[in-house]
Amino acid sequence: MQPGVVFAQDYQYMCSEAGQNIIKDAIKTHGLTGVVVCSCSPRMHEATFRKAAAQAGLNPFMVEIANIREHCSWIHKDKEEGTEKACVLMRAAVAKVTLNAPLKAGESKVVKRALVIGGGIAGIQTALDIADAGFPVDIVEKNATIGGRMAQLDKTFPTLDCSSCILTPKMVEAKANENIRLITYAEVEEVSGFVGSFKAKIRKKARFVKEDVCTGCGVCMSKCPSKKGLNEFNMGLNNRSAIYIPFAQAIPNVAVIDKEQCIKLKTGKCGLCQKVCTAGAIDYTQQDEFIEEEYGAIVMATGFRPIDASKFDEYSYSTCKDVVTSLELERIMNAAGPTGGVLLRPSDGKHPHSIVFIQCVGSRDVSGRGKPYCSKICCMYTAKHAMLIRDKYPDVEVHVFYIDVRTPGKNFDEFYRRAAEQYDVDYIKGQVGKVYEENGQLVVRGVDLISNEQIVLNADMVVLATAIEPDPTARKVANMLTASIDTNDFITEAHPKLRPVESPTAGIFLSGVCQGPKDIPETVSQAGAAASKVIGLLAKDKLTTNPCVAHSDELLCNGCSCCEKVCPYSAISYETKLINDHGVKETRRVAMVNEALCQGCGACTVVCPSGAMDLKGFSNKQIMAEVDAICL
């Protein structure tokens, strides 16, 4: 037996209740001061074993785990070698546990208010659910209105209900709910703090219209002489005035002045809107405002945008007006869109007779132009578009080129089959290689892999099911929140299966497409799940903090600032104080660790040149003891 070990037992299911009882009994019978469990990863059952030890009266931090499953039996084909490694890991854990010190978790406060960044359907639903549980919540939305992409959609699969008809009531509810504060035309600029007590600084951009005075009558819009701004809501398919309300159901229903387009703000002349506004809401001198607030939890719901289709030159998106993206088509099909909901092609406003849809434009593409993932929603919305067009305009021929049709979801495949079978949409298995204009005619050259032949079709319009990507601000926001993000800029979950709505950073939650492509039903369920996690957190009065945090030895610290530079959680600050070094008194600058902020990553301990910084539970001495046990 290893030195220090007084009792050892083999048992197959140590995590079971019977197994835990073995540990508890051994602690009591042998008066153990430390326990080593050789089992699976501590990520699985460290908490289980610590709890068992605590129940038997042992400090839970006197338990160590040697991972002999993931690190040994699962990965080594050679049984002998694997067993040898398992023994070594066990020795290391024993060496460590003899140096463990009892630790006590501290407590920190919980500010009972949540922040939701992004006011799309994800953010709205999360906020509504949190508010419903009685907690105040702020939605910060960068645009002038909440609603996100869903507000731009015409009808929604798989039920084909009108998007704004189902979204508007939620937007109105968000505005009316007394627990929800909408902070629109705003962005979060700075976040500090930690789970339970984050501090955020929010910049509310100047609208040049007083939000509480504007009645949303829209007179200013009709009088504004500057009408060249691209209408973002309509995907730039038409123009809007410099002063505008994004769309009729906007919340808040308040105008905003686009300062790049406003003649008054650019040249000092004009001022018409102020003259016509009977409410007196226009204020050309308005400045950006800052709001500072504390939050217990933060939810990221920053959503997505379609990628730029002009990267796919072969489809002539940037040169042919009648080649549009699917989101543009949503606007063309919508009654409040640029064509009043009549299907007209952009180039000459004529009724198209033949439309070709191309799926997977930029999705499943590792060439660097597109995205390696499947955007998940485009098979379904393409089926939707094709069906709606065939339903309303039976004279229009509709062809869909696809690589695969991916329709997992309740009633989804049935929906797509309906497009093909009932609405006679011509699904062609194969991709399109080129779209070009020939004598004023759009020509599509694709392949039919079933009949094994190249197909050349004349089309009046081509619709590109463009890949979606996270909102371009996602990375910035994630960095601010120290939330991890993947190579595609989607926010990473704490566990892809078991903790899908939490970020690995405590107190940060994920909702909607910012985590990965999803449709509205999935977004809404995830939004609710994120809300329930937030509610669970805000319902607590205190949080126990992780005691495995860094601390610096004042006597050794020379205040060099190395640790502060490497700390990813900004947990280190410096204090100039009187140090009594064995009778030698000196006023020095020394490092202080904010235990609530420290996540115990240990970066500071390795950079500290004077060995002053150490991590509780993972002290340099303990780690060296493990290394010795392994190597000696």
Ligand X SMILES: Cc1cc2nc3c(=O)[nH]c(=O)nc-3n(C[C@H](O)[C@H](O)[C@H](O)COP(=O)(O)OP(=O)(O)OC[C@H]3O[C@@H](n4cnc5c(N)ncnc54)[C@H](O)[C@@H]3O)c2cc1C
204 scored as a contact of ligand X (CB under 6 A): no
Q: For the chain, what's the residue count? A: 632
Distance CA 17, CA 11 (A): 12
Q: CA 539, 540, 546, 552: dihedral to nearest 10 degrees?
A: 110
Q: Vertex 20, ends 16 and 22: CA angle to 5°?
A: 120
Residue with CB nearest ligand X? Answer: 120
Distance CA 107, CA 543 (A): 5
Q: Vertex 411, ends 401 and 173: CA angle to 5°?
A: 105
Nearer to another protein, 421 or 575 (CB): 421
| Beta carbon of residue 401, minimum distance to another protein (angstroms, whole number) | 13
Binding another protein (rule: CB under 8 A), the pick from 288, 313, 314, 424 is 424
330 scored as a contact of ligand X (CB under 6 A): yes
Closest C-alpha to 101, from 617, 629, 624: 617
Residue type for position 195: V
Distance CA 114, CA 127 (A): 8
471 scored as a contact of ligand X (CB under 6 A): yes
143 scored as a contact of ligand X (CB under 6 A): yes
- Which segment (229-237, 370-378, 417-425, 593-601) binds another protein by CB under 8 A? 417-425
Binding ligand SF4 (rule: CB under 6 A), the pick from 122, 281, 379, 613 is 379
404 scored as a contact of ligand SF4 (CB under 6 A): yes
- Which segment (39-47, 218-226, 331-339, 611-619) binds ligand SF4 by CB under 6 A? 218-226
Q: Which two tokens stand for residue 344?
A: 């007209």
User: Tokens 């209740």 appear where?
Assistant: 17
224 scored as a contact of ligand SF4 (CB under 6 A): yes
Nearer to ligand SF4, 467 or 604 (CB): 467
- Which segment (157-165, 194-202, 322-330, 425-433) binds another protein by CB under 8 A? 425-433
| Beta carbon of residue 159, minimum distance to ligand SF4 (angstroms, whole number) | 19
- Which segment (47-55, 446-454, 488-496, 525-533) binds another protein by CB under 8 A? 446-454
State the SS3 of 567-600.
CCCCCEEEEEEEEEECCEEEEEEEEEECCCCCCC
Binding ligand X (rule: CB under 6 A), the pick from 241, 326, 505, 605 is 326
Distant-in-sequence, close-in-space partners of 221: CB < 8 Å, separation ≥ 6: 240, 241, 243, 244, 245, 255
Could you give the string, one character per residue 513-552, with x where binding to ligand X holds by CB under 6 A and - elsewhere?
x----xxxx-x-----------------------------
Distant-in-sequence, close-in-space partners of 70: CB < 8 Å, separation ≥ 6: 40, 41
Taking each helix axis from N to C terminus, what angle separates 79-97 and 620-631, rounded to the nearest 10 degrees?
A: 150
Number of chain residues interacting with another protein (CB under 8 A)? 12
- Which segment (150-158, 308-316, 408-416, 532-540) binds ligand X by CB under 6 A? 150-158
122 scored as a contact of ligand X (CB under 6 A): yes
C-alpha gyration radius of the chain? 30
| Beta carbon of residue 491, minimum distance to ligand X (angstroms, whole number) | 11
- Which segment (107-115, 151-159, 164-172, 533-541) binds ligand X by CB under 6 A? 151-159
Q: CA 253, 254, 258, 261: dihedral to nearest 10 degrees?
A: 90
Nearer to ligand X, 67 or 125 (CB): 125
557 scored as a contact of ligand X (CB under 6 A): no
| Beta carbon of residue 288, minimum distance to ligand X (angstroms, whole number) | 15
**What is the three-class DSSP state of 470?**
strand
Distance CA 565, CA 592 (A): 13
**What is the three-class DSSP state of 323?**
strand
451 scored as a contact of another protein (CB under 8 A): yes
Binding ligand SF4 (rule: CB under 6 A), the pick from 100, 164, 326, 375 is 375
Q: Vertex 418, ends 414 and 421: CA angle to 5°?
A: 125
Question: Taken in order 400, 406, 412, 413, is the CA torsion positive or negative?
Answer: positive
Q: Which two tokens stand for residue 196?
A: 């339970």
Distant-in-sequence, close-in-space partners of 207: CB < 8 Å, separation ≥ 6: 144, 185, 254, 255, 256, 257, 286
**What is the three-class DSSP state of 193?**
strand
Binding ligand SF4 (rule: CB under 6 A), the pick from 36, 254, 465, 478 is 465
The partner in contact with residue 417, picked from another protein, ligand SF4, ligand X, none with C-beta cut-offs of 5 to 8 angstroms by kind, is another protein
| Beta carbon of residue 627, minimum distance to ligand X (angstroms, whole number) | 44
Nearer to another protein, 107 or 424 (CB): 424
217 scored as a contact of ligand SF4 (CB under 6 A): no
246 scored as a contact of ligand X (CB under 6 A): no
Could you give the string, one character per residue 254-293, with x where binding to ligand X holds by CB under 6 A and - elsewhere?
----------------------------------------
Closest C-alpha to 127, from 135, 39, 351: 135
What b/e sequence results for 540-553 when a residue is b if at least 16 CB atoms lie within 10 Å of its CB, and e otherwise?
eeebebbbbbbbbe
The partner in contact with residue 117, picked from ligand SF4, ligand X, another protein, none with C-beta cut-offs of 5 to 8 angstroms by kind, is ligand X
Nearer to another protein, 259 or 429 (CB): 429
| Beta carbon of residue 529, minimum distance to ligand SF4 (angstroms, whole number) | 23
Number of chain residues interacting with ligand X (CB under 6 A)? 40
Binding ligand X (rule: CB under 6 A), the pick from 62, 72, 131, 140 is 140
Contact assessment for residue 15 and residue 48, using Cβ atoms and an 8 Å cutoff: yes
| Binding positions for another protein, rule: CB under 8 A | 405, 417, 420-421, 424, 426-427, 429, 448, 450-452
Binding site for ligand X (CB under 6 A): 117-123, 140-143, 148-150, 153, 156-157, 187, 301-304, 306, 326-327, 330, 377, 381, 384, 468, 471, 473, 477, 512-513, 518-521, 523
Q: Site residues (CB under 6 A) for ligand SF4? A: 224-226, 241-243, 257, 262-264, 270-273, 359-360, 363-364, 374-376, 378-379, 404, 406, 465
